[in-house]
Amino acid sequence: MKTNRDREAKSAFKCGFVAVAGRPNAGKSTLVNRLVGEEVAIVTPKPQTTRNRITGIRNDPDTQVIFLDTPGVIDGARGMNAYLMKTARAAIADADIVVYLLDAAAAARRPAEADTVDLAAAEAIAAGGRPALLVLNKADLLSDKGPLLPLTDAWSRRGFFKEVFPVSAADGAGVDDLYAAIRSLLPAAERLFPADQWSDLPEKFFVSEIIRGELFGHLREELPYSSAVVVESFDETGREEGVVRIHATIHVEKNSQRGIVIGKGGAMLKAIGISARQAAERFLGARVHLMLRAAVSRNWTRDEREMRKLGCFDRQE
Ligand SMILES: Nc1nc2c(ncn2[C@@H]2O[C@H](COP(=O)(O)OP(=O)(O)OP(=O)(O)O)[C@@H](O)[C@H]2O)c(=O)[nH]1
Ligand SMILES: [Mg+2]
């Protein structure tokens, strides 16, 4: 039999979707990882790292929040850029709450009117009618916190956002206050996912992202942007004995790029494979046999069909 207290706890339960948006490199994935407490999204010092909508689920006794990490908001309407924008827009449209991130350290260096992409994005988010919060991220980089005040004032006056939060996703400062505000705005609803689940994406997806993360670490300049990783097989039959066997392919756009990925005598591919295997082992909690190869899918970033094949598709499609 249910007691009154059980019923109360049930009716007080809150659950909803929170889209985390902002320009490339603002720290969206870092913030989502911190809020969820798991590394759901790869973080790199380079812009346009996140390609897919990535979900990270935070479970508390009275709340379940499904965070949607999104690709950075950018200008430009072709190929990969158009795809990234579409993915971000779709996540915002599906969310109950939008959290918009600004790199506060960068914003403090320029007049607020210069943030045309941010202004346009904020306007669009406000027009969508969902409650929205502004996060001034990377506050730790401002040794003098002085510039935070005028920045907060300027954005508060514009009226796009319900509240403004100075935060450091990197060291966690201000994140609890932000989370409390998110929680207060969530609708009352039952949980959508089991309480021990922290993403709805398959392990296979995370392994391909782990490998892609290593490409950013090992390859220079544009090469990671020309690369996609496909996990061809994920064999768990040995999982009981603690072994997972994975075949994955790194796709690049040209022969010359494939040469760089493979490296002299295969040295680069080997180095990428070793770090990716170690990271995958930590993630899966099992030994991993990783077979990695490199292939050319000519100009795949300019061809929508190829992009889909290589993992760039909106999950709503
Ligand atoms: N100092 C500092 N660095 C941060 C903070 N948050 C993120 N970073 C760094 O900023 C860089 C970009 O972080 P990401 O989390 O990958 O940014 P993102 O917005 O997801 O980027 P895209 O996916 O490329 O759009 C990384 O080098 C992070 O370590 C912060 O609060 N303080
Ligand atoms: Mg990201």
- Here the tokens at position 59 are 């479970």
Predicted local confidence at residue 76, as pLDDT:
61
Report the topology of domain 4-185.
Rossmann fold (3.40.50)
pLDDT at 118: 86
- For the domain made up of 203-309, the CATH class stated in words is alpha beta
What are 143's two structure tokens?
């040794």
d(CA 285, CA 231) in angstroms, rounded, equals 18
* pLDDT value for 314: 59
**Residue in the block written with tokens 């000519």:** 298
The full set of domain ranges for the chain reads 4-185, 203-309
Transcribe the chain into DSSP letters.
---HHHHHHHHT-EEEEEEEEESTTSSHHHHHHHHHTS--S---SSSS---S-EEEEEEETTEEEEEEE-PPP-S--SHHHHHHHHHHHHHHHH-SEEEEEEEHHHHTTS-GGG-HHHHHHHHHHHHHTS-EEEEEE-GGG-SS-TTHHHHHHHHHHHTS-SEEEE--TTT-TTHHHHHHHHHHHSPB---SS-TT---SS-HHHHHHHHHHHHHHHHS-TTGGGG-EEEEEEEE-TTGGGTEEEEEEEEEESSHHHHHHHH-GGGHHHHHHHHHHHHHHHHHHTSEEEEEEEEEE-TTGGG-HHHHHHTT---TT-
Per-residue pLDDT of the chain (317 residues; tens, 9 = 90+): 555 555 445 558 999 999 999 988 999 999 999 999 988 898 888 888 888 788 899 999 999 999 999 888 776 656 666 767 777 788 888 899 999 999 999 998 887 667 778 888 888 888 888 999 999 999 999 988 888 898 999 999 999 999 999 999 999 999 999 999 999 999 999 999 999 999 988 899 999 999 999 999 999 878 988 999 999 999 999 989 999 999 999 999 999 999 999 999 999 999 999 999 999 999 999 999 999 999 999 989 888 888 888 877 655 44
pLDDT of residue 80: 67
CA of 38 from ligand 1 middle (Å) equals: 16
Q: In what order do the strands lie in the sheet with 243-252?
A: 228-235, 243-252, 287-296
Q: Which atom of ligand 1 is nearest to the CA of 33?
A: 15
Whose C-alpha lies nearest to ligand 1, atom 24?
48
| Ligand 1 centroid to residue 188 C-alpha, Å | 31
Residue 315: what pLDDT?
A: 54
Q: Which ligand is nearest to the CA of 135?
A: 1
Give the torsion sign (CA, 306, 234, 53, 110). Answer: negative
The pLDDT value given to residue 313:
65
Ligand 1 neighbours by CB, cut-off 6 Å: 22, 24-30, 43-45, 47-50, 71-72, 137-138, 140-141, 168-170
Pocket perturbation via mutation, ligand 1, pick of 20, 30, 52 by most ligand atoms within 8 A of CB: 30
- Hey, whose CA ends up nearest to atom 7 of ligand 1? 27
**Residue pair 33/294 in contact by the 8 Å Cβ criterion:** no
237 C-alpha to ligand 2 centroid (Å): 32
| pLDDT given for residue 10 in this prediction | 53
Say how many Å lie between the CA of residue 9 and the centre of ligand 2: 35
**How many angstroms does the Cα of residue 100 sit away from the middle of ligand 1?**
14
